[in-house]
Chains A and B, each alone.
Chain A
Amino acid sequence: GEDVEQSLFLSVREGDSSVINCTYTDSSSTYLYWYKQEPGAGLQLLTYIFSNMDMKQDQRLTVLLNKKDKHLSLRIADTQTGDSAIYFCAESIRDNNDMRFGAGTRLTVKP
């Protein structure tokens, strides 16, 4: 099947920007999502982008979508220690009634 791929780890210093990258392979994806998982908790939706958009900004979060390269990124500005978590990229595929998750990127923010 198709895979959603992300790097497993990212470490940044407090106050820096974090960029988490994701690649997907199914061109029929309709929506792309970023979920955040804090320790011992379930996943929580952070933001999403519709497949006909290139960029979406929501306070400290910026999502960039490059459909040609099937590349999605999440930028967190002024990263705080509270942003330390696992971030999952996910795609929904309208025709298949399916939703696929990446393996998750563990973001560590050092003071």
Chain B
Amino acid sequence: NAGVTQTPKFRVLKTGQSMTLLCAQDMNHEYMYWYRQDPGMGLRLIHYSVGEGTTAKGEVPDGYNVSRLKKQNFLLGLESAAPSQTSVYFCASSYSSWRGHNEQFFGPGTRLTVL
């Protein structure tokens, strides 16, 4: 099992460019999440999905779009990158919702710099 994988690992964009981050999991998890990690601020939820074909907004969704066309993949898109989106992006997946205990499995992260 590869667990949760993310591509690319690093990327540098110019302001206004677009890109898509890909997250894949091979654990048959229903739930998938995208977080961003900024110094001194912990992880903040961008968007999440509770199943194939569904998406929902998290704490900081503005400037991002997501899609979950296949259960194992969760894509995060930046249509017009801004310097404020410079961050480390983590994808995670879990069996179910947060209402009970559930362990989120994290990918290794994507370090994005927007110039």
Residues in chain A within 8 A of chain B (CB atoms): 1, 4, 8, 30-31, 40-45, 48, 50, 88, 92-95, 97-104
Contact = CB atoms under 8 A, between A and B. Distances in A.
Interface of B: 4, 35, 40-45, 59, 90, 92, 97-104, 106-109
11 contacts: A30-B101, A31-B101, A42-B92, A43-B106, A45-B103, A45-B104, A48-B103, A50-B101, A100-B42, A101-B43, A103-B42
Secondary structure class of chain B's binding surface, majority of residues:
loop
B76 to A, nearest CB: 15
Contacts of B35: 101
Given A42-B107, A43-B106, A45-B104, A97 B43 contact: no
Nearest to A95: B99
Contact of B98 (A40, A88, A99, A102): A99
A48 B109 CA distance: 23
A-B pairs, 10 with minimum CB distance: A42-B106, A101-B42, A101-B43, A103-B42, A92-B98, A43-B106, A94-B99, A31-B101, A45-B103, A99-B98
Given A42-B107, A42-B108, A30 B40 contact: no
A42 B4 contact: yes
A9 to B, nearest CB: 11
A30 B45 CA distance: 19
Contacts of A44: 106
Contact of A102 (B42, B99, B108): B42
A84 B31 CA distance: 30
B98 A98 contact: yes
Contacts of B104: 43, 45, 99
A94 B42 contact: no
A42 B43 contact: no
A107 B101 CA distance: 26
